[in-house]
């Protein structure tokens, strides 16, 4: 297991679309372990996508349970989602988002309040889950990475909704 370097904007890999995972292999399981180690070692890290470490496969990890925003609401704990697809979403909220690939900025982004996600878990079993609040936001953010979308692409106004981060937490 290893902590992998996180790609930073404007690395062109971050704008590429990731390929679906065809099957879970021992090599893929090892890459997922590295992804989890990398997320855990990153300050404030509540989610990470495989493309952020240069792996163009449809894999994300999310765990908001220890974060001040996520620990106060119902959540699923550590999620590893392989080939996640958002089937439905609803509600709207404006949230302040940051990203390990864009460490110097945060922004106000409009996101759905809840999502219904279909994916595989790390063993290859199908999982359908409903997520709300901060966890739903983190899932949307990470799934965006799989399609080459950064939170900067969702900022309504760079002048009023983008903020320089004072310190990374």
**Ordered strands of the 162-164 beta sheet:** 93-99, 102-111, 162-164
Q: Determine if the peptide bond prior to 152 is cis (ω within 30°).
A: no
Query: Would residue 16 show up in a list of annotated catalytic residues for this protein?
Result: no
d(CA 60, CA 38): 12
Catalytic position from the list 74, 110, 123, 142: 142
Catalytic center residues: 142
């Amino acid at each position: 297991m290893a902590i992998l370097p996180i790609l930073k904007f404007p690395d062109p890999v971050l704008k590429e679309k990731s390929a679906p995972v065809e099957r879970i292999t021992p090599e893929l399981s090892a890459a997922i372990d590295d992804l989890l180690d990398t997320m855990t070692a990153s300050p404030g890290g509540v989610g990470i996508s495989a493309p952020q470490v240069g792996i163009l496969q449809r894999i994300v990890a999310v765990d908001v349970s220890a974060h001040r925003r996520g620990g106060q609401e119902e959540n699923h704990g550590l999620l590893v989602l392989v080939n996640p697809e958002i089937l439905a979403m609803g509600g709207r909220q404006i949230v302040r988002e940051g990203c390990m690939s864009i460490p110097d900025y945060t922004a106000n982004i409009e996101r759905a309040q809840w999502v219904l996600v279909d994916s595989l878990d790390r063993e290859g079993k199908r999982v359908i889950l409903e997520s709300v609040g901060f966890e739903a936001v983190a899932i949307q953010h990470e799934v965006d990475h799989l399609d080459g979308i950064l939170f900067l692409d969702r900022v309504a106004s760079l002048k009023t909704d983008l903020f320089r981060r004072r310190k990374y937490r």
